[in-house]
Amino acid sequence: MQQGLSLGAVSLEEELALIRRGAEEIFPEEELVEKLVAARREKRPLRVKLGVDPTARELHLGHLIPVLKLQTFQQLGHQAVLIIGDYTATLGDPTGRNKARPPLTHDQVLANAEGYAAQLFRFLDPKGTELVYNGRWFGQMGFHDVIRLLSHMTLARMLEREDFQNRWKNGFPIGLHELVYPLMQGYDSVQVRADVELGGIDQKFNILVGRDLQKEVGQPPQVGVCSPILLGLDGKEKMSKSLGNYIALSDPPEEMYGKTMSIPDELMMQYYELITTVSLSELDGIRRGLADGSLHPRDAKRRLAREIVMRFYNEEAALAAEAHFDRVHKEREIPADVPEVVLDTASLKEGRIWIAQLLVRAGLAASNSEARRLVAQGGVRLDGEVVTDPEFDWPARSGVVVQVGKRRFARIVVAS
RNA sequence: GGAGGGGUUCCCGAGUGGCCAAAGGGAGCAGACUGUAAAUCUGCCGGCGCAGCCUUCGCAGGUUCAAAUCCUGCCCCCUCCA
C-alpha cells in the first residue's frame, strides 16, 4: 500500500488528477475544487464518506472501486468516513435492479458487516478511518422522526430516479420501503457532515438527496464523486455475484489472473484505470501502444493481470500466477499444485473404481450422470490420456492426475 | 371491496389431457479453434452403473387407462377500477 501523504503534499493539480482518475462524474466539480482549496488553506482535511451495505458475504472488485477511491483520498491526507449500513441493508436497496432485494435480518447484516470491515481495512488505513454503523442514529429514531425525515421528499421527486421510473413504467412493483432508501443514505451524510460522498454512478440520485438534506439543515452540501460501474468478465453486464461474472476479493491469485485474462480486450483500459496503480502517463503509453500495434493486446493483458494480482496480493504471487497460467493454458500441462483427493479402499472394488464415481468423489462432477456426459464428450483425462468409455473401471493408482476440461485437476491418493 | 392476469426445470419464458424430463433464449459445462478462461462454431445441460427406470411444472387433494395441462380448496404475486 502506498504511504499516506499529508494534506497538501502534492500540488492541487496532481491531487485533482488523482481524484479524477477513472471517475465518471464529479458533481459539482467547481465545488470540489473550492473544498480542496479551503482544506489546504485551513489545514482541515475533507470528510470523505463511503457507505457500504453489508448485504452479501463475498466482496468482488466491483464493490471495491469506490473503496479504492476512498483510499486515494486517504492517501491525500483526507479523513475517510466509512459507514456500515447495518440499517439500510435490512431494507433492500433498489439500486440498479428491477426486483426488490430480499430483506436481511439485522443479525445477518451484522455478521456480514464484520467480514466487510476486515476486508476493507486491507485497503484503508484503520487509524485514519472513522468507522460508523448507521444504526447508531437510525436505531434511535422514533416514528415521528421518520415522518419528519419523509416530509423532506415528494413522490414526484422520488420517481425521478431512473430505476423507479423504469419499474413504474413497466409495471414492476416498488416497495414503499424502497422509497425511503435514498433518504436514509442522504441522512447518513447529514449525520457525518460529509464533504464528499463516493459511490458508483448508480448512487448519483442518493448522493444528490444527501446534498438536499444537508442544505436543509444548514450544512454545506457534499460533492459527489462517482465511479463508473465496473463491467464484469463478460464485458456486457455489471460485475455482480448473481451473474457470476466477477473477480472475488477472496479469489486465489491464479483465479484472479486467469479471470483477468478472460476479459474482452476493450475492457482492459477501464480495468487498468480503476483497479491498478499504474501511473496515468504509463497508461497513456499502453493506450498508444495498443492503438498503433506496437503493443500486443496479449502482453497488455498479461501485465494487467499481474498488476491486479499484485494489488491484492504481492509481486511474487503475481509472477507465480502467471507461471501457472502459462503452464496450464499455453503449454497445456498439469499445474504444479494439484489438490489431492484421497480414495479409501472401501470405495474400490477389486482395486478398481468406476470412472463416473471417481469424478464425483474428486469433486469434479456433481452426479454420476454429469460424469458420464463429461466422459462421453471427451472432457476427461487420466494423466493426460483421454477416457472415452463412460463405463470404464479404472484400476486405481496413487499419483495419477484426473483432469476435467482444461483447468480442473485432482491428484488421486489411494489410502492404504 | 370489485374485475381480471399469473406462479413451469439455475434465470427468462413456451407449453392448456397422451408425441413432455417439458420449445426457445440466457447462464453453465465439454469439444474444436485461439494470445486468452475472449469471439465463433459444435455438443451437452433432473437423477439412477442409464437401450430401462425414478422424481419434477406454487401447495394439498380429486377426475382419468393417462395430468404441467381438467376439477376443488389453500398460499403467493401482479394489473385495472374504487
In chain A, residues 60 through 119 whose Cβ sits under 7 angstroms from any atom of nucleic acid strand B: none
Residue A93 CB neighbours (<10 A): 22
Distance of CA A270 to CAs A65, A231, A266, Å?
Answer: 11, 9, 8
Alpha-carbon gap, residue A346 to A366, rounded angstroms: 20
State how beta strands A47-52 and A196-200 pair.
parallel
Residue A126 burial by Cβ neighbours in a 10 Å radius (0-12, 13-18, 19+)? exposed
- Provide the pLDDT for residue A173: 65
Alpha-carbon gap, residue A90 to A293, rounded angstroms: 51
How many Å from the CA of A171 to C1' of B79? Answer: 8
Distance of CA A78 to CAs A49, A128, A380, A387, Å?
Answer: 11, 8, 55, 61
- Provide the pLDDT for residue A95: 41
Q: Which of the residues in chain A have pLDDT under 70?
A: 1-4, 57, 91-104, 166-167, 169-173, 175, 242
Q: Cβ(A339)–Cβ(A410) under 8 Å? A: yes
| Among A275, A271, A381, residue whose Cα is nearest residue A328 | A381
| Cell of residue A159, nine digits | 420517481
- Provide the pLDDT for residue A3: 56
CA–chain centroid gap for A39, Å, is 31
State how beta strands A401-404 and A408-414 pair.
antiparallel
Residue A288 CB neighbours (<10 A): 11
- Provide the pLDDT for residue A97: 38
How many Å from the CA of A331 to C1' of B38? Answer: 19
- Closest-approach nucleotide to residue A296, Cα vs C1': B35
Residue A413 CB neighbours (<10 A): 16
- Provide the pLDDT for residue A198: 95
Nucleotides of B under 7 A from a protein CB: 27-31, 35-39, 43-50, 77-80
* A415-A254-A277 Cα angle (round to 5): 155
- Provide the pLDDT for residue A92: 58
Establish whether the CB of A363 is closer than 7 Å to any nucleic acid atom in strand B.
Answer: no
Establish whether the CB of A351 is closer than 7 Å to any nucleic acid atom in strand B.
Answer: no
In chain A, residues 231 through 250 whose Cβ sits under 7 angstroms from any atom of nucleic acid strand B: 234-235, 243-245
Query: Amino acid identity, residue A95?
Result: T
Residue tagged 457500504 (cell numbers): A52
How many Å from the CA of A362 to C1' of B46? Answer: 21
Number of helices and strands in chain A (H, E): 17, 13
| Cell of residue A75, nine digits | 492517501
How many Å from the CA of A30 to C1' of B25? Answer: 47
- Closest-approach nucleotide to residue A297, Cα vs C1': B35
How many Å from the CA of A391 to C1' of B51? Answer: 15
In chain A, residues 126 through 165 whose Cβ sits under 7 angstroms from any atom of nucleic acid strand B: none
- Provide the pLDDT for residue A4: 64
Residue A179 CB neighbours (<10 A): 17
Query: Amino acid identity, residue A1?
Result: M
In chain A, residues 375 through 394 whose Cβ sits under 7 angstroms from any atom of nucleic acid strand B: 377-379, 391-393
How many Å from the CA of A369 to C1' of B52? Answer: 15
How many Å from the CA of A176 to C1' of B82? Answer: 21
Establish whether the CB of A349 is closer than 7 Å to any nucleic acid atom in strand B.
Answer: yes
The per-residue b/e assignment along A385-396, b for 16 or more CB within 10 angstroms, e otherwise, is eebeebebbbeb
Q: Residue A58 contacts by C-beta under 8 Å, 6 or more apart in sequence? A: A241, A248, A249, A250
Q: Cβ(A234)–Cβ(A221) under 8 Å? A: no
Establish whether the CB of A264 is closer than 7 Å to any nucleic acid atom in strand B.
Answer: yes
The DSSP 8-state label assigned to residue A276 in this structure reads -
The per-residue b/e assignment along A240-273, b for 16 or more CB within 10 angstroms, e otherwise, is bbeeebbbebebebbbbbbbbbebeeebbbebbb
- Provide the pLDDT for residue A395: 94
**Global pTM value:** 0.81
Establish whether the CB of A125 is closer than 7 Å to any nucleic acid atom in strand B.
Answer: no
In chain A, residues 282 through 311 whose Cβ sits under 7 angstroms from any atom of nucleic acid strand B: 297-298, 301
